[in-house]
Structure 1
Amino acid sequence: MKLTRIELHWVRLPLVAPFRTSFGVEYDREALLVKAVTPDVVGWGECVALPQPLYSAEYVDGAADALIRFLVPAVSALPDVTAAAVGAALTAVKGHPMAKAALEIAILDAQLRQANMPLADYLGAVRPAVPSGVSVGIMASIPELLDAVDGYLAAGYQRIKLKIQPGWDVAPVRAVREHLGDAVPLQVDANGAYTLADAVHLARLDPFELLMIEQPLVEDDLRGHAALARRLRTPICLDESVTSPARAVEAIESGAAAVINIKPGRVGGYLQARRIHDICAAHGVPVWVGGMLETGIGRAANLALAALPNFSLVGDVSASDRFFARDITPPITMRDGWIEVPTGPGIGVEPDDAALKEASVRSEWIDL
């Protein structure tokens, strides 16, 4: 496949409500979209980096700089551009997995559109729809939290995930569990806000029969997670800590992770995500797809990934209206707790021109 240019589009979409985690509050989604243009088709990808380096070292403008100065030039030198070749071509550039993932999926989308093949089929999906869970941010009060949870359950979401941090953990989790009873699947996500010294405190979550506690400690502390796992009854899920297939093996074999959350942007792309899925399946470790407040571009691709066989736990792939009053693609909708996997070529969706124009901040083209 021949590329003629790469386009970068900065967009900003206001959130329907502020989303607070242990590392900050988001009021809108500032995203970088990558468009791969060929003589016959175009492909789209989304970089999931945040505007500031708070979730990870990457941030939107840094990812754009890496794409412009290093990643796109590396791809432009390929005699035949395919997603598989892109991964190999980018290995010389250290780091920048979110930027690499965005470029890879844009090229893969174009490649699959040209072949008239859905991304789900290419990855090996086995389900036509995936169950949808919701991530609930830190609230100002427990009554506000309970109202939000009731609203999400009424909308049909099959699993509730609560963001927690020191000072907002045991009390809100207890309140939600007592409010909902034992039938509703419930888990928590700390985004690395605790230390191993908090083990006794975190063990106070055990009586609430949570599915898991996600990323309680900082990302580089596998040893600490393994030690914590021996002191908790609640399974530990790793997110930020799992950055590659090798890291996934280390997390599993060390006892640091009983569950893994796979985010394609965090691991460098959908092909890497599929490798991690396969590794976890071979080790009997269940996985699920995490969310990064994606627009419809990233959300559609995540749906294809979540339909693979070892994604046996409900993930964070929610409907568009969970975050946006108007997405940049036709809205991704949920019905009775399920979201259909796109069946069109490539990722199966593309931006609505009017919505993209409304959300646009600026654009830059790189001719090849």
Structure 2
Amino acid sequence: MPRVRELEVFRLLLPYGRRTETLLVKLTDHGGMTGWGEATAPAAKTWSRLEESLAATLVGLDWEHPDTVAGGDSAVDMACWDLWTRMRGVPLAEAIGGTRTSLMATVRLAPDPSVESLVSRVNQQVCAGYGHVTLDVRPGWDVEPVRAVRQAYPALTLAVDCGNAYSDHGQLVALDSYGLEVIERPFATSDVYAHASLQDQVTASVAVEAGSSAELDDYLTMRAARVLLLRPAAFTSLSEVRRAHDKAAAAGWDIQCTGGQGAGLARAATVAVASLPGCTLPCDVTQPPRQNQIVTPIVGANAGVIAVPLTQSGLGHDIDEARVRRLAKESFRA
């Protein structure tokens, strides 16, 4: 039975790109075993809540299973799962019901200065082994780049991510004529009817993102999509992620796991979830900058394939704690 002897929380300022922040939680039990978790988009109140309330609740607590640890914080939940599975000597993927040993990957490409440059980048990824490409599109950058990529690669499996940026169906229906597999997040999350209407008009599967299994219910009731975009970091617990997976799979939906942010731990949890039997579409953990990674081995794809770590317990990756401490903007221990 785990009993947390010590909790440490680190706020990291990642050095690459927009220098985003991520929050890491380290739990140490009385036997010296550790578990780590990550919140890739920590709310401003998360730090104070961990310091003021969750630390006092967790330290010294005996618990049988991660689900029994109160708090509703995704980083703490992940750390509890990592600790619990390490103590039992089992991989996280196996503990939550995963069945896959490797995953196909998609690569996500942001809008480019020119269509020609985008086609060149697609070529680089195809040559690197990717057979599935997701293009980020927005109003004003949609039909022309998709047409160019499709003309250059008639057999390539293509999806588009609309970033919830559209308000009408016109351009999206036009995109459907280019043989897309999935149209991700076309409208505002709350507009279930718009998603349902679009799904009735296009051959591609519409993909929606939900942050809880209850939120997913509205989409399922309206038959507003055929794909669940499952982002484990958006949920409060891995058990809630599993419930959403089970609901979508039972409804006959495909599932794509996504989680390309952070320092590596959240990506590792995304890979574990993507090994679940209902996760039928390529996983999106687009190769991260090495400067941002605090895990070994690096979480990412090789020739379009992601390995599920099944020979090591827990999240399946070692933590470079010295690097964590170097990158930490601030930290506290309880």
TM over 0.5: yes
Aligned counterpart in structure 1 of residue 171 of structure 2, from 201, 212, 230: 201
1:150 aligns with 2:123: yes
SS of the residue 1:208 aligns to: coil
Aligned counterpart in structure 1 of residue 201 of structure 2, from 224, 231, 234: 231
Offset of 1:33 from its aligned partner?
0.9
SS of the residue 1:238 aligns to: strand
1:224 partner amino acid: A
Partner of 1:5: 6
SS of the residue 1:28 aligns to: coil
What is the CA RMSD across the aligned residues, in angstroms?
A: 2.1
1:262 aligns with 2:263: no
- The answer to whether the 8 Å contact 2:146/2:178 transfers is yes
CA offsets 1:280-301 (integer angstroms, 9 cap, x no match): 1211111010124232211222
**Can you give the 5+ residue segments of structure 2 that lack an aligned partner in the other structure?**
none
Partner of 1:30: 21
Partner of 1:165: 138
Offset of 1:80 from its aligned partner?
2.2
Partner of 2:156: 184
Distance 1:158 1:295 in 2: 26
Offset of 1:82 from its aligned partner?
3.1
1:295 aligns with 2:263: yes
Offset of 1:237 from its aligned partner?
0.3
Change (3 A) 1:354 1:90: closer
Matched ranges for 1:1-368 at <5 A? 1-15=2-16, 27-40=18-31, 41-49=33-41, 59-75=42-58, 78-80=61-63, 82-86=65-69, 89-90=70-71, 100-181=73-154, 183-195=155-167, 198-239=168-209, 242-319=210-287, 322-325=288-291, 327-330=293-296, 331-343=298-310, 344-365=312-333, 367=334
1:90 partner amino acid: G
Identity between Structure 1 and Structure 2 (%): 30
Change (3 A) 1:228 1:47: same
Offset of 1:76 from its aligned partner?
5.1
Identify the range of structure 1 (269-278 vs 327-336) with the bigger mean alpha-carbon deviation.
Answer: 327-336
- The answer to whether the 8 Å contact 2:3/2:61 transfers is no
Distance 1:107 1:77 in 2: 14
2:161 partner amino acid: D
CA offsets 1:318-352 (integer angstroms, 9 cap, x no match): 34xx4334521122353332121112111011321
Distance 1:71 1:255 in 2: 39
**Can you give the 5+ residue segments of structure 1 that lack an aligned partner in the other structure?**
19-26, 50-58, 92-99
Distance 1:325 1:291 in 2: 17
Distance 2:285 2:60 in 1: 35
Distance 2:49 2:208 in 1: 27
If the length of structure 1 is used for normalisation, what is the TM-score? 0.83
> For this pair of structures, how many residues does the alignment match?
330
Change (3 A) 1:134 1:85: same
1:225 partner amino acid: H
Change (3 A) 1:148 1:82: same
Partner of 1:56: none
- The answer to whether the 8 Å contact 1:110/1:346 transfers is yes
SS of the residue 2:173 aligns to: helix
CA offsets 1:88-140 (integer angstroms, 9 cap, x no match): x236xxxxxxxx11110101111111111110110111111111111111222
Offset of 1:60 from its aligned partner?
4.4
